Amino acid sequence: MKPNFSLRLRVFNLNCWGLPYVSKHRSDRMKRLGDFLNMESFDLALLEEVWSEQDFQCLKEKLSFTYPAAHYFRSGIIGSGLCVFSKHPIQEIIQHVYTLNGYPYMIHHGDWFCGKAVGLLVFHLSGLVLNAYVTHLHAEYSRQKDIYLAHRVAQAWELAQFIHHTSKKADVVLLCGDLNMHPKDLGCCLLREWTGLHDAYLETQDFKGFEEGYTMVPENHYVSQKDLEPFPCGIRIDYVLYKAVSGFCISCKSLKSTAGHGPYNGTPLSDHEALMATLCVRHSPLQQNPPAGRLPLISVLREAWTELGLGIAQARWWAAFAGNVIGVGLLLLVLLCFLVAEERAREVAILLWTPNVGLVLGAGAVYLFHTQEARGLCRVQTELQHVLGREREAQDLSSEPQLALLLGQEGDRTE
């Protein structure tokens, strides 16, 4: 590769809001999205919430000339909703489905049925290895009482770990997606600190779009105004993040987002705003890795550790509650058998038998689900604990009294 090597990468990201029967004007929006992508001819278009595989197939057909490579990430019952269209051939594909993703009985939220995941595509561009990741994390339905917080933090950690372990030989790492987290949220900090990814919005000198880079704004008439009530100006939950790993540097020349309407005004393409980034990759003298034992990482790891602890306590409470319901249900069944045998209130007993069996089975399912949830959260907590231990060793404690104080309580907890 020549020393003056330089590569320009134009990237598009959009949460398409493509829920069949629910999302308004879906087919019209998909059609316009296809037209727009064809016209703009990005290097890479990463989409979320393309829930219908038929929509993907239509887009694939429409875009086949401009974007010869395409991939849909299948997972869960409904799907991951993730897909990618690329001008360049895809060398390798892998995906990771998040272990924890909400609760099956929260049917009206539906995240559990989706199989939320992160997809990785490896590209070779002029001798450079690009790892492009696309993801969509669990939605936040209430910021005041967010029952999914522990799951989202666990997902952010799994995402960070997946990127960390699969990108070791990549020259450039790109992550696009709907993280369902505000920029300063715990999961977002955890992801950035552990992977070293940079936020295109914060890095670029040339941003065109809403103030603060908001990607869900009340000006977009598809957005539920009620959901945005606590944030009257909007929220930023969609991201373009990147880093160059070694021998290269990457910068964001420009970042553009739609502003509550379509890219050329008119009706919006989705309830989210689209992000369009122009990235520039250049050769660079070997960069120093960030020093081991970084204070912000340690602090965010500790915070995540605590948050997961609360999630574990909650999961264990539900498992114990379900266990008690099973106990009471079984006692009732014995009582009903007794009533039938004694020929007392026989009809009522027979009538109550089946609902009671249903109760025991239902409570059994809840027990198993929350046991598995607690185990999944414990697993993430153990991994965080291990990293905390390693960071602590890497840090020269004696020269950092502040850090020693911060880590004091962690010492006997780590493995």
**Using CB under 8 A, which residues numbered 123 to 162 contact its own copies?**
161-162
CB 283 within 8 A of CB 5: yes
**φ/ψ (deg, to 5) at 120:** -120, 135
Quick one: tokens of 414? 């780590």
Residue 90 near its own copies by CB under 8 A? yes
Task: Name beta bridge partners: 7.
Answer: 281
Nearer to its own copies, 36 or 56 (CB): 56
Question: CA dist 121 to 237, 362, 370, Å?
Answer: 22, 40, 33
CA-nearest of 195, 176, 172 to 5 is 172
> At residue 93, what is the residue type?
I
How many chain residues touch its own copies (CB under 8 A)? 48
List Cα–Cα distances, 234 to 87, 190, 359, in angstroms.
Answer: 33, 23, 43
Q: Can you tell me which of 58, 97, 249, 397 binds its own copies, judged by CB under 8 A? A: 97
Residue 204 to residue 348: CA distance in whole angstroms: 71
Indicate the residue type of 62: K
Task: State the minimum distance, in angstroms, from the CB of residue 162 to its own copies.
Answer: 8
CB of 190 to its own copies, least distance (A): 15
Taking CB under 8 A as the rule, does residue 96 contact its own copies?
Answer: yes
Give the E-state strand segments of 223-340 in sequence order. Answer: 238-244, 248-257, 275-283
Q: Rule CB under 8 A: is residue 168 a binding residue for its own copies? A: yes
383 binds its own copies (CB under 8 A): yes
Helix (H) or strand (E) holding 43: none
Binding of its own copies by 371 (CB under 8 A): yes
Q: Report yes or no: 163 and 95 within 8 Å, Cβ to Cβ.
A: no
413 touching its own copies, by CB under 8 A: no
Q: Which of residues 49-88 bind its own copies (CB under 8 A)?
A: 69-77, 79
- Give the shortest CB-177-to-its own copies separation in angstroms: 18
Q: How far apart are CA 337 and CA 349, in angstroms?
A: 8
94 binds its own copies (CB under 8 A): yes
Q: Is 22 in the site for its own copies (CB under 8 A)?
A: no
Cα 360 from Cα 370, distance rounded (Å): 15
Whether the CB-CB separation of 69 and 85 falls below 8 Å is answered with yes
Q: Which residue number, 71 or 236, has a Cβ lying nearer to its own copies?
A: 71
Q: In a 3-state reduction of DSSP, which class is residue 214?
A: coil
- How far apart, in whole angstroms, are the C-alpha atoms of residue 72 and residue 161? 22
Active site members: 272
Q: Binder to its own copies among 8, 24, 143, 169 (CB under 8 A)? A: 169
Position 284 contacts its own copies (CB under 8 A)? no
Q: Does 272 bind its own copies (CB under 8 A)?
A: no
Site for its own copies contains 44 (CB under 8 A): no
Among 354, 398, 399, 402, binds its own copies (CB under 8 A): 354
Residue 121 CB, shortest distance to its own copies, in Å, is 10
* Cα distance between residue 334 and residue 142, in whole Å: 42
Residue from 91, 126, 265, 284 touching its own copies (CB under 8 A): that is 91
Q: Which of 313, 320, 351, 405 binds its own copies (CB under 8 A)?
A: 351
- Does position 320 interact with its own copies (CB under 8 A)? The reply is no
Amino acid occupying residue 358: G
In angstroms, rounded to a whole number, what is the distance separating the alpha carbons of residues 201 and 207?
Answer: 7
Q: Nearest distance from residue 251's CB to its own copies, in Å? A: 25
Binding residue (CB under 8 A) for its own copies from 379, 397, 400, 414:
379
Does position 346 interact with its own copies (CB under 8 A)? The reply is no
Residues in contact with its own copies by the rule CB under 8 A: 69-77, 79, 90-97, 99, 113, 115, 120, 161-162, 164-166, 168-169, 347, 350-351, 354-355, 357-358, 368, 371-372, 375-376, 378-379, 382-383, 386, 390, 415
